[in-house]
Structure 1
Amino acid sequence: MIKQLRSWWKDTEILNLIARKKVDFSLFYEGTHIPVEFHPDFLEANGGELPKKGESRTVKLVYKDQIYHASLIKIDQVSASREALQLRYNGNQPLKDLLIETFSHSYSYIMQERANQLADDAKKPQVVVPEDQAEYIDLFATGTPFEYRLEFITYKSKPNVWWVNQGTTIHAEKEEGILWAPLLNTQGRKLYHWETMKEVKQRDIILHYSNKAIRYVSQVTDAAVEAPKPDSMANTSWQEAGRLVRTKYVELIPPIVLQQFNQQIMQLNLTQGPLHSGGGVNQGYMFRFSRQGLQVLQSLTTEVNWPDFSILEQDETDSNTESSHEVIPILPPSDSSIATFLHQIQSHIRRQGFFFPEYLIENFYLSLKAKPFVILAGISGTGKTRLVKLFAEALGATRDNGQFSLIPVRPDWSDPADLLGYKDLSGRFQPGPITKVLVDAREPENRHKPYFICLDEMNLARVEHYFSDLLSVLETKEWREGKITTQDLISPTLLDTPEDQVEYGSLGIPENVFLIGTVNMDETTHPFSKKVLDRASTLEFNYINLQQYPDQSEQVEASEGADAAELNHLFLRSDYLQLVDAYDTNKELVVRTTERLVKINALLEDIHAHVGFRVRDAICFYMIYNDRYKLMSEEEAFDWQLLQKILPRIQGSHSSVRRVLLNLIKGAMGNGAGVTVDIDDLMEDAAPLYLKWATGKTPPVAKHPQSARKLAFMLRRLEEDGFTSFWLS
């Protein structure tokens, strides 16, 4: 078991270890404070004894063959209303000299940082040595009370890894073999991404990012010195005084585009790193990277000609080093592997004897990735619920392990309590079916596992009534320490007891939970409001080929490499929450998609069905993921989005609805379809157009065939019934 509190740490598996203490300023000065959580460890090492309040006991600190004396003191901290235990040796200069000599790296770092602090600071803030440079003292029990054996873990100077953003000057800087940044901005202020230059040392490794890709890697030959602005930057507005680093550039062939690695690097949670929470690059110059980040980057780009100096030795994992206890980050699969994993999912579904239309699995995946709430609509018996179950099963989520839950919706559900839970007469909270799943999904050991909740026949009751709290909380998602969090679902007024507060307090929608609703499109169900449609993607199951038979002779080849059942939740978790998260690296695609939506919105405004930013963002995310994973063509992907995010909003009986449908089908047909769509002629009778999709006929070739077929159906319903809607089957 690992126990950790601030600068103290212990692994109970290490024999006789009392505790490990990170080296800080107090160790060089007088001693250290021992957190109350570690008092039992010292009590055990002392054979069941600790000093009484106000008492001091002499202890022996044994290092190699030398014994150093110190005091273990228990004092009364009146201000904190508790007793404190301290290890003091401020009178033992030989011991302090030993610590300064042994931990010279930490001592130099701390003293330099303290010297840089303002002289008139009444109380200088504590200097914290960065984790990648930290040093430690281990205290071991010897079997003799108040005698502890010391072991030192010292910093082994390894090259640090840095990331630098360069613009148009990169070629000139490369030719000169330099990096340069000013000391102050035009307002006379220091910026941390310029101040990092002074920390760069000889042999450090630098990744050079320019024009959406890492194009060079270099090794520092001379650490930073103050130097005037070089000629290569004469045209910049920077001030003249700055710092210059000399470094040897090596071009990376091929260059590494941001989308090849940004999601994996984000999981490392680099402090003051180059990437922001959406996966784009922060504005600035020199950012901290990490050795582990470089190793992850290299593992993803084996085709790149990495120079020898950039290939790092594997960091030691000896039981006496801190690195053996680092948490290994959970990483998403690479973009290039997504198509392979989706093929595995399709193979699993076929082995169970089920068949779904072309691109349906890819569409379902992209829809979940863009937003973790999807609605599967269609006539009864088309396999909507089965699709969710088999898709989840292929990813290792089953009813048996609790990662797949089928929740039948009841017609009498009328408020969120039916789904989330309620407070009973005794004051205890009784969780609803979805709350139990959310509690299980947020457990630390489960946070990397995907959880699927299938709300079966979701529209038997009014979705806006029983699902309203979840719809609202879904819109509160934000990035926090590299994870997606939401506001709480359960009101504190429902949690009276301490047990309920622990179990259900601060319960949002975890980032590893995915919601899917199945709905039947018939007269027994309730329609959806735009509030619901804005927050979900609607996948339709209405065109069924009954002549699909199980082929028992079919042998589905198992794919080599990783198994889809072993994927973590990052396979499905959204990488973007706001469009700004993705805009940096996908500007052209975002602009192209938005321009299409602007034209469509101009049509929809006439019937008050136009979309807002929420829908715009969701469609852009879908298109970006499709482009990243190379699953469909851009036109095929946009066809699905037109069908799923735009058409469900259209209903009515007016001639304005007919005109909108005709304009949309004209766009869906495209110029090369060979079909003329004359809006004015068809306003009176659209039969010549929609009959082309009649049963038994071969529909014309269309740019967006899925949407064109649905629009033709909606036109026919308008002609024959005087009313039309996406939701009429």
Structure 2
Amino acid sequence: MITQVRSWTHDDNIPDLIGRKKVDWSIFEYGSTVPNDFKVYFYKANGGEEIEVGKGKQVTLIYGGKKYKASLRNVDQISAGRESLQLRYHSNDLKDLMISIFKHSYEFITARKPRDPRNKKQVVVPDELAEYIEFYTTDIPYNYELKLITLEGNRNQQMPNIWWVNQGATLSEEKEEGIIWAPLNGKGGRSQYHWDTMDEVKQGDIILHYANGSLRYVSKALEDCVHAEKPSSMSNSNWDAQGRLVRVEYHPLQPNIPLTLFSQEIMKLQIHQGPIHSGAGVKQGYLFRFKLQGLHKIQEISPQVKWPEFTLFSRTQIEEKAVVTNLPNIVEDQEVTSKMNDIKLFISHRGFHYPPGLIENLYLSLKTKPFVILAGVSGTGKTKLVKLFAEALGATGDNGQFSLIPVRPDWSDPSDLLGYKDLSGVFRPGRLAEVLVEASQPENQHKPYFICMDEMNLARVEYYFSDVLSVIETQEWRQDRIVTSKLINRESLLPQDQLLYGDLSIPDNVYLIGTVNMDETTHPFSKKVLDRANTIEFNYINLQQYPSLAIHEKEETDLTVHNSFLRSEYLQLIDVYSEYTELVHATTEKLVKINHILEEIHSHVGFRIRDSICFYMVYNQRFELLSDDEAFDLQLLQKILPRIQGSSLSVKRVLLKLLQGALGRTLPVSDLMDDASEIYLKWNDNQEENKAKHPLSARKIAFMLRRLEEDGFTSYWLS
């Protein structure tokens, strides 16, 4: 059992531990106040002797073989109506020791501590930067052994990875050999990710062994994975002879732990490449990723099982501290449509209405990549849409999950957004950096954070946003999270700033949405920006949409979602290819035809856009939000057409050829090269909309043609 009160923690699984104290300012001043719930642990360490109210005892704190004098007093706080156990230093020796050992905490707190002594605001060190004191019992009452856990110690103490292996028929042979083993390749010479994970197993890693409906063993890897031939004891299997092998030490779990006891709780962790599928059963495969938090949850659910000591960790050692039972429910694929309807209802109840399919499009765009641009004339509700969409998912300005960052025309480099160093060398974070730090906290990693960059192109986006754009492209899976490269050079920061900002990156629960107007006060976008975003346009406005005066009978439910609802699941085409081969081929064939057309004006697309469009189409098919034609129409509109601009006849020819595909019929391109007015005039009268295969793209192309003929120049942004 784990007891946690404020900055103190006690774990029954750690022998002789009295308590663990997170370092705060009191440690550098006088000692610490011990929570009342922890008195029992100190009294037990003192041979069961309790301290009378108003009395105290001298204690000895032992560190590194040296003894330090202190006192333990049971203070009567009359004004508060309670007692308080206080541990106080007797000399400056302990203060000096704490400052010298916990230099990171001391510098962090000192740099942020209010200068005004009347301001009693406490500086809280983030958990990922925290340092700790552990108090242990000794054979002598009132003598406590100290263990000081520094930030370097935490970082250097490599936590083991946790794995889950499905064994079934191979369990007895592998247990007898003291190994786990998987082939390099299967039929056709193709490997599987649940075999490839074997290469990642390192000495000291922990492995949960599942067979026949229950966890039956837990083991510790005795050495790193090696490539080895199939053991002779497994000769009856049909696998290839060449494989991967890890030597392990098996420990039985008695009684065995049935899957049904914990599968629902493990599902909530959303472990990337984990063992539990959406039906709460076990996936087919061999070695899957798992979480330390998941191991801890299973241990809590099965207190009757005696777990070996190497599997026991205190709560503060667990990397992710989010309380699983309080996490929002995971939204399954079949529930996404219902969730979209709830979001639209939430927005309409606040008096706002958007075109059909827009909310679905915004969701699919964010799911595809966490950077979206909303473009259109001023006053069409772009910023409001971002705010309402975020609020519908539980992200508000009050809870810090929605942030509006107005872009200034004088922004010229990333410091305006990320932060800068002042003349003394202290890093002054920008608003984006502050949000990224908050979103990165372990307790917040399941929450989506929305950042609205308002009027994003008042300054040149490439100047102030280039670092962010580049880092977004470095996304990769690491265990069960998507990580990126660092945004700030750690070595350029002072030590106290390195703690908070030295590892700053873009976590996978942050979603960037820029709103843009296109007029004489703004700047156009480069292809570098357009390639990395879905551009959703707001140009067709129905002013006759009025607020409903009807009473809303349906009560709004809590729409708060787990970040997995929005987080990308695919980073490379191989992530979807095996399951959606037909859709990927069909989409790519369309893009190949479009590329042949675009090559004439050197605006053809590359792999980044191909993959992005394929991901969008796959998500749409999975969630059944739009028809395939509607989804591809939006991708043509948002990913292809924004790249086209110019004044040449080649541009006109490209637009006419693209229009053929959007309409789904052949056009007399040669004749229309002289005068295309018959095409765009029909769109002015809405004569063509219901006839087109991709009506949104066809309408846009028609207006781009009109601009080209009337003004001698055209662009996606001018129509």
Q: Same fold (TM over 0.5)?
A: yes
The one-letter amino acid of 1:613's match is: F
* Partners of 1:666 and 1:696 in 2: CA distance: 17
Partner of 2:525: 528
* Partners of 2:456 and 2:508 in 1: CA distance: 22
Q: CA deviation at 1:487?
A: 1.4
* Partners of 1:141 and 1:199 in 2: CA distance: 35
Partner of 2:717: 727
Q: Does 1:613 align with 2:611?
A: no
Matches within 5 A, 1:579-658: 579-658=573-652
Preserved contact between residue 388 and residue 516 of structure 1 (Cα < 8 Å): yes
* Partners of 1:631 and 1:467 in 2: CA distance: 32
* Partners of 2:688 and 2:509 in 1: CA distance: 43
Q: CA deviation at 1:582?
A: 2.1
* Partners of 2:291 and 2:450 in 1: CA distance: 36
* Partners of 1:52 and 1:440 in 2: CA distance: 35
Partner of 1:71: none
CA 1:43–1:648 in structure 2 vs 1: closer, same or farther (change >3 Å)? Answer: farther
CA 1:522–1:338 in structure 2 vs 1: closer, same or farther (change >3 Å)? Answer: same
* Partners of 2:639 and 2:475 in 1: CA distance: 20
Q: CA deviation at 1:588?
A: 1.6
Q: Does 1:429 align with 2:427?
A: yes
Partner of 1:76: none
Aligned pair partner of 1:679 in 661, 664, 669: 669
Matches within 5 A, 1:94-493: 163=166, 203=212, 226=233, 228-229=235-236, 267-268=270-271, 286-287=286-287, 315-316=301-302, 332-492=330-490
Partner of 1:718: 708
RMSD between superposed Cα atoms in Å: 4.8
Q: CA deviation at 1:427?
A: 1.6
Preserved contact between residue 636 and residue 697 of structure 2 (Cα < 8 Å): yes
SS at match of 2:594: helix
The one-letter amino acid of 1:667's match is: G
Q: Does 1:701 align with 2:688?
A: no
CA 1:146–1:492 in structure 2 vs 1: closer, same or farther (change >3 Å)? Answer: closer
Partner of 1:543: 540
* Partners of 1:643 and 1:397 in 2: CA distance: 29
* Partners of 2:711 and 2:590 in 1: CA distance: 31
Q: CA offsets per residue over residues 266-297 of structure 1, 9 Å max, x none?
A: 833678x699xxxxx99x963358899999xx
* Partners of 1:691 and 1:416 in 2: CA distance: 45
The one-letter amino acid of 1:386's match is: K
* Partners of 1:500 and 1:289 in 2: CA distance: 33
The one-letter amino acid of 1:447's match is: Q
* Partners of 2:184 and 2:491 in 1: CA distance: 52
Q: Does 1:45 align with 2:42?
A: no
Q: CA offsets per residue over residues 220-248 of structure 1, 9 Å max, x none?
A: xxxx9936547xx6xx8669xx9xxxxxx
Partner of 1:553: 550
CA 1:711–1:499 in structure 2 vs 1: closer, same or farther (change >3 Å)? Answer: same
Q: CA offsets per residue over residues 469-506 of structure 1, 9 Å max, x none?
A: 1111111111112111111112335422x322222111
CA 1:423–1:684 in structure 2 vs 1: closer, same or farther (change >3 Å)? Answer: same
Q: CA offsets per residue over residues 100-141 of structure 1, 9 Å max, x none?
A: xxxxxxxxxxxxxxxxxxxxxxxxxxxxxxxxxxxxxxx989
Preserved contact between residue 167 and residue 209 of structure 2 (Cα < 8 Å): no
Preserved contact between residue 347 and residue 388 of structure 2 (Cα < 8 Å): yes
Preserved contact between residue 429 and residue 494 of structure 1 (Cα < 8 Å): no
Partner of 1:511: 508
SS at match of 1:712: helix
Q: CA offsets per residue over residues 61-111 of structure 1, 9 Å max, x none?
A: xxxxxxxxxxxxxxxxxxxxx99xxxxxxxxxxxxxxxxxxxxxxxxxxxx
Preserved contact between residue 10 and residue 18 of structure 2 (Cα < 8 Å): no
* Partners of 2:465 and 2:577 in 1: CA distance: 31
The one-letter amino acid of 2:426's match is: R
SS at match of 2:689: coil
What are structure 1's unaligned runs of at least 5 residues?
5-9, 22-40, 56-81, 84-138, 149-159, 167-179, 207-223, 243-260, 276-280, 296-311
Q: CA offsets per residue over residues 503-539 of structure 1, 9 Å max, x none?
A: 2111111211111111112222111000000011100
Preserved contact between residue 441 and residue 510 of structure 1 (Cα < 8 Å): yes
* Partners of 2:13 and 2:272 in 1: CA distance: 32
The one-letter amino acid of 2:676's match is: A
The one-letter amino acid of 2:714's match is: T
Q: CA deviation at 1:341?
A: 1.4
Partner of 1:12: 10
TM score, norm. by length of structure 1: 0.63
* Partners of 2:185 and 2:678 in 1: CA distance: 68
CA 1:457–1:182 in structure 2 vs 1: closer, same or farther (change >3 Å)? Answer: closer
Q: CA deviation at 1:447?
A: 2.0
Preserved contact between residue 183 and residue 194 of structure 1 (Cα < 8 Å): no
Matches within 5 A, 1:59-74: none
Preserved contact between residue 652 and residue 724 of structure 1 (Cα < 8 Å): yes
Partner of 1:298: none
The one-letter amino acid of 1:316's match is: S
Preserved contact between residue 273 and residue 480 of structure 2 (Cα < 8 Å): no
Q: CA deviation at 1:573?
A: 1.1
The one-letter amino acid of 1:286's match is: Y
TM score, norm. by length of structure 2: 0.64
CA 1:433–1:225 in structure 2 vs 1: closer, same or farther (change >3 Å)? Answer: same
Preserved contact between residue 651 and residue 724 of structure 1 (Cα < 8 Å): yes
Preserved contact between residue 289 and residue 479 of structure 2 (Cα < 8 Å): no
What are structure 2's unaligned runs of at least 5 residues?
20-40, 47-57, 67-99, 102-135, 146-162, 170-179, 190-194, 202-206, 216-230, 246-263
* Partners of 1:727 and 1:616 in 2: CA distance: 22
* Partners of 1:405 and 1:348 in 2: CA distance: 20
